[in-house]
Amino acid sequence: MTAQLDSFYPTQVTFGTHDEIHRAAAAALDSDVFDFVEGGAGKEITLRANLAAFGHWRILPEPMSGVATPSTRTELLGMSLETPVVTAPFGGDALFHPDGHLAVARAAQHRGALSIVPEAGSFSYEEVHTMAPRAARIAQLHPFAHAAAVAERVRRAGFDALCVTVDCPVGGFRTRNMGNRFDPDQRLFAGNLTGENGAPGVAEVFGQLLKQGGSVWNWDQLTAAAADFGLPWIAKGILTPATAERALAAGASALVVSNHGGRQLDPAPASLDMLPGIRAAVGAELPILLDSGIRTGSDVYLALALGADAVIIGRSAIYGLAAAGEAGVDRVLELLTEELRTLMILSGAATIGDIDGTRITGAAS
Ligand SMILES: Cc1cc2nc3c(=O)[nH]c(=O)nc-3n(C[C@H](O)[C@H](O)[C@H](O)COP(=O)(O)O)c2cc1C
């Protein structure tokens, strides 16, 4: 009898693999939009380093561990999650699919994941939260003069936490966009930046972002504003132990170890390479998320083993969104979580908390 190998794999899915989703996204987007997603800053050394860093580690098998049904459940700032994979705040989301973050948040909710809603998104904080209130619980903002007003607004809307992006006082030197003369419609970034009722407009904020010395904030200004946020906040864009300590002194409740997916300072170190030193500096209890370069379940596993409590996916979520809207993001989250679950069985980790440094080893050079 011929073995029916196909029957080992789910057949009712849109996409089988991450690579298929990536190719479908490339096919769905205009080449300059795809470059906007795919590209990084400068010579893209950091972009490549983020991906390469995961290749420096190996997961140790644990045969006969008896682990059959590992749990991917975890908790972050009091929020219960079915998977330690969080979707990133990314602006201009309707460039990739008309449903943008509405679709991302709904997929995250379906998978019991969290979704961070961006300030420069195509939809408002309120619209996304209403669409998927159990996932869209963190609102991202840029630290400028309007931060206190944003905090009040998202508190009223029902969000549980803020994510303050601290590594973007000016947009990185995005070489591909410059080569493409990429000039997207600003309205796609104006879900919150409406320019009405006291809210700044896109041009105003991006003008501030891009204009060195404009109203770019320092830690003291953020510390003062954050005292009135009335919500816990996460500092996104931490890459050194010293900055981690500065963010905690400013009142942050959690950190995102991130180089913005290689889109800001190039050549900055890979996020994964900096994670162990930051974890050692802040101690075992502080919640740490990692982003920049997460593409597969083994990347999730290694980030957790090296000190993260959860990971954030930027481009992987965008590939799913561009490929098939909500169903595409759903499939990305499913693939990442199922691969993580398989690796947990093979390495003998029954819970997310079991994934630690004892289960990995450096690759032989
Ligand atoms: C197209 C695009 C737009 C982004 N926009 C924002 C943004 O508005 N605010 C922000 O904090 N990060 C933004 N990011 C960075 C992501 O939140 C995240 O840090 C990064 O994508 C993680 O790296 P990865 O893409 O390798 O997963 C953006 C990323 C991409 C790819």
Thinking of the domain 16-362, which architecture would CATH place it in?
Answer: Alpha-Beta Barrel (3.20)
236 lines ligand 1 (CB under 6 A): yes
Q: What is the pLDDT of residues 130-182, one digit of tens each?
A: 999 999 999 999 998 889 999 999 999 999 999 999 999 888 999 999 999 99
Query: Is the pLDDT reported for residue 5 higher than 90?
Result: no
Task: Report the pLDDT value the prediction gives residue 198, as an integer from 0 to 100.
Answer: 80
18 lines ligand 1 (CB under 6 A): no
CA distance 287 to 117: 19
Nearest CA to ligand 1 atom 27: 314
Query: Is the pLDDT reported for residue 313 higher than 80?
Result: yes
What would you measure as the largest C-alpha separation in the chain, in angstroms?
Answer: 73
Q: DSSP E strands: which ranges in the chain?
A: 57-59, 74-76, 79-81, 85-87, 114-117, 136-141, 161-165, 233-238, 254-257, 288-290, 310-313, 360-362
Question: What are the domain boundaries of the chain?
Answer: 16-362
Of 104, 208, 263, which is best to mutate to test ligand 1, by the most ligand atoms within 8 angstroms of its C-beta? 263
- Mean pLDDT over each residue of the chain, to the nearest integer: 94
Q: What is the pLDDT of residues 332-353, one digit of tens each?
A: 999 999 999 999 999 999 999 9
- Is 260 part of the annotated catalytic residue set? yes
Region 96-121: what's the mean pLDDT? 98
Task: Report the pLDDT value the prediction gives residue 171, as an integer from 0 to 100.
Answer: 86
